[in-house]
Chains A and B, each alone.
Chain A
Amino acid sequence: MSRLPPLTPLAVIGFFGAAAFILLAGFAPWLAPHPVSEVVGGVWEPPSADALLGTDNIGRDLFSRLVWGARVTFAIAALATALAFLLGVSLGFYAAVRRGWVDQLLSRLNDLLMAIPTLIFALVVLAVLPKTMIVLVLVMAILEATRVFRVSRAIAADLVVLDYVEVARLRGESWRWVILREILPNALSPLLAELGLRFAFSILFLSTLSFLGLGVQPPIADWGSLVKENKDGLLFGVFAALIPGAAIAILVICINLVVDWMLQKTTSLKRGRRDG
């Protein structure tokens, strides 16, 4: 971690935004003026002292729903990213260390899953799976794990051929030791940037699924659901749908600013949000 470049103003803005989001998600019960599904006024009322951002499509306080929604968005995206990393990094490292047919098998299987665009794949499976949060997290995690697998396998494959790993192997260390003691510590810094990228992607992915009506199901709502709920107001000149949309955009911009700053030195990791 000592290799991180000095902080830039943009990185500070990014950190600030990401921290604000996490605080919002963590302290939602204290920050939200109203319960999540309480009706406080008419449909799509303009902002007032009681409803800071106006009311939504059935008269609930949009600000409160935004605060509660931050919690849902954060929980699902963080959980999916964590699972994706657990799965992707361990399999990726394992493939790189074992090489041979294990590597071939895992890599080809991964290629196969990556041959279908993520969103299309998610839609195909969500057509039959029950619409629960657990299913949603698992589908997101598995699809993201394919991307994590590819990156972490590439990082580990570069490290495996280095002398000190060779020494450890010749010493007769097990592959578990090689992965945990030799490879993982040296892969942490590029993986950290990847973690940021994947988290940003998770948030966009979740929001998109919810926007399409296939992600988080009512009565629970994440930021993508809030856009979906309020989108019809747009044609009547009510811009309520733009507020959660802007929240997603600002959050993702902030995370990308932090990632950009982390990537300034480690250019080996190519930026790849757009990989399907």
Chain B
Amino acid sequence: MLAAPKGGGLSLWAMLARRLALGLVLLWAVSLVIFAGTQILPGDVASAMLGQQATPAAVASIRQELGLEQPAAVRYVKWLGGAVTGDFGRSYSNRQDIAKSIAPRLKNTLLLAAMAAAIAIPLSIALGIACALTAGSWIDRTIGLVTLSAISLPEFFAGYLLIAYFSVMHLWLPSSATVSEGMSLGQRFVVMLLPCLTLVLAVVGHMMRMTRVALLNVMTSPYIETALLKGLPRSRIVWKHALPNAVSPIVNVVALNLAYLVVGVVVVEVIFVYPGMGQYLVDHVAKRDVPVVQATGLVFAAIYILLNIAADMISVIANPRLRHPR
């Protein structure tokens, strides 16, 4: 498909450009879905937003304000045009500029997710390798069982369990993660430790299991058998022969799970009252504040798509065979 020069850096850049372009198309389609998704109710947005207080006059004024007299297509173009230039309009419930409210929250959310990733990635890869090294033994089975349980815990249970232990029984860490502008990095770190741990618990199990599976899959290939028959020790086989070939699937799993952080972060932010995008979204869903929900949904989708592209690209770099798609 791609006339790629052998081993050249150019093909990678070309691939990246292509993925980004595809990502943009996808994001545009997603914006359509999100916009349509907020128009599908039987009545109209105005009466849904007002709920119990839907007097005809109030409905009319909201319809006016949101421009609901115009056809949906016109409203969509206006909304998208604004979104592209970073203008998401004003919140219906508190009249604030949405883009201005999102910016600091987005920073907070990304910080929390990055912190969780920094802990979760090395931890899960180490555990995965440990399991693959000892496959079938009691160590492997114990780690497997523990991570299966971690996968099965709803984030809110894990979060409240941590709060119960660290904040209520021992008063070691604060139960709410309200960060503000004036806080030093150290203070932020302490406050964010519990939400961060909750997120780590949410992703580590899956990442570790997939790392283990990827390694064990490579372990079944003929050249590993040859190495075994040659009499090489198992640890050497795993490190020198299997691991380099398992990098690509592992990287892929890690990146996909980073995308999962986007979802996990929503619940975690609500539990710990952390001023990020997730809490902002949930608050405004409850208030039926459609402009905010559309904007936040679009930003979340954009991050998700970007992370998926990153996952793709990193696995291409790790596995050059993927540069020549069949």
Neighbour of B164 across the interface among A121, A242, A256, CB < 8 A: A242
What is the bound-complex CA distance between A237 and B164, given in angstroms? 8
* B239-286 interface with A by 8 A CB criterion: 256-257, 259-260, 262-263, 266-267, 270, 281-282, 284-286
What is the bound-complex CA distance between A246 and B257, given in angstroms? 24
What is the bound-complex CA distance between A253 and B164, given in angstroms? 21
**Chain B CB within 10 Å — which of A127, A271, A273 has the most?**
A127
A256 and B30 in contact, given A117-B259, A124-B37, A242-B164 (Cβ under 8 angstroms): no
What is the bound-complex CA distance between A249 and B150, given in angstroms? 9
A117 and B300 in contact, given A129-B41, A249-B154 (Cβ under 8 angstroms): yes
What is the bound-complex CA distance between A194 and B259, given in angstroms? 22
Give per-residue flags for A56-99: 1 if the beta carbon is below 8 A from chain B beta carbons, else 0: 00000000000000000000000000000000000000000000
Residues of B within 8 A of A125 (CB): 37-38, 40
A234 and B285 in contact, given A125-B38, A128-B41, A212-B267 (Cβ under 8 angstroms): no
Neighbour of A208 across the interface among B34, B267, B285, CB < 8 A: B267
Q: Is the CB of B286 within 8 A of A128?
A: no
Asked if B120 lies at the interface with its beta carbon under 8 angstroms from chain A, I say no
A245's nearest neighbour on chain B, judged by CB, is B157
Asked if B151 lies at the interface with its beta carbon under 8 angstroms from chain A, I say yes
**Chain A CB within 10 Å — which of B34, B154, B263, B284 has the most?**
B154
Residues of B within 8 A of A200 (CB): 152
Neighbour of A276 across the interface among B41, B42, B263, B266, CB < 8 A: B263
* A183-219 interface with B by 8 A CB criterion: 200, 204, 207-208, 211-214
A260's nearest neighbour on chain B, judged by CB, is B148
Asked if A231 lies at the interface with its beta carbon under 8 angstroms from chain B, I say yes
Asked if B305 lies at the interface with its beta carbon under 8 angstroms from chain A, I say yes
Residues of A within 8 A of B282 (CB): 123, 212-214
Q: Is the CB of A128 within 8 A of B301?
A: no
What is the bound-complex CA distance between A116 and B302, given in angstroms? 9
Asked if A36 lies at the interface with its beta carbon under 8 angstroms from chain B, I say no
A205's nearest neighbour on chain B, judged by CB, is B154
Q: Is the CB of A115 within 8 A of B305?
A: yes
A214's nearest neighbour on chain B, judged by CB, is B285
Q: Is the CB of B45 within 8 A of A128?
A: yes
Asked if A162 lies at the interface with its beta carbon under 8 angstroms from chain B, I say no
Segment with Cβ contacts to A, from B190-198, B289-297, B318-326: B289-297
Q: Is the CB of B164 within 8 A of A127?
A: no
Asked if A119 lies at the interface with its beta carbon under 8 angstroms from chain B, I say yes
Whole-angstrom distance between the Cβ of A110 and the nearest chain B Cβ: 12
Q: Is the CB of B301 within 8 A of A271?
A: no
* B139-167 interface with A by 8 A CB criterion: 145, 148-149, 151-157, 160-161, 163-164, 167
Residues of A within 8 A of B38 (CB): 124-125, 127-128
Whole-angstrom distance between the Cβ of A266 and the nearest chain B Cβ: 14
Neighbour of A112 across the interface among B26, B167, B209, B257, CB < 8 A: B26
Asked if A252 lies at the interface with its beta carbon under 8 angstroms from chain B, I say yes
Residues of A within 8 A of B156 (CB): 207-208, 211, 224, 227, 231, 245
Q: Is the CB of B285 within 8 A of A123?
A: yes
Asked if B19 lies at the interface with its beta carbon under 8 angstroms from chain A, I say no
Q: Is the CB of A274 within 8 A of B301?
A: no
Give per-residue flags for B39-55: 1 if the beta carbon is below 8 A from chain A beta carbons, else 0: 11110010010000000
A124 and B293 in contact, given A117-B301, A276-B263 (Cβ under 8 angstroms): yes
Whole-angstrom distance between the Cβ of B155 and the nearest chain A Cβ: 7
Give per-residue flags for A123-141: 1 if the beta carbon is below 8 A from chain B beta carbons, else 0: 1111111100000000000
Give per-residue flags for A247-276: 1 if the beta carbon is below 8 A from chain B beta carbons, else 0: 011001100110010000000001101111
Asked if A241 lies at the interface with its beta carbon under 8 angstroms from chain B, I say yes
Residues of A within 8 A of B168 (CB): 234-235, 237
List 16 additional contacts besides A120-B262, A124-B38, A274-B256; criterion CB under 8 Å. A115-B301, A117-B300, A119-B267, A124-B294, A128-B39, A130-B41, A208-B156, A227-B156, A231-B156, A234-B163, A235-B167, A245-B160, A249-B149, A249-B153, A256-B151, A274-B257
9 pairs, CB–CB < 8 Å, chain A vs chain B:
A115-B26, A120-B266, A124-B293, A129-B41, A130-B42, A234-B175, A245-B154, A256-B148, A274-B260
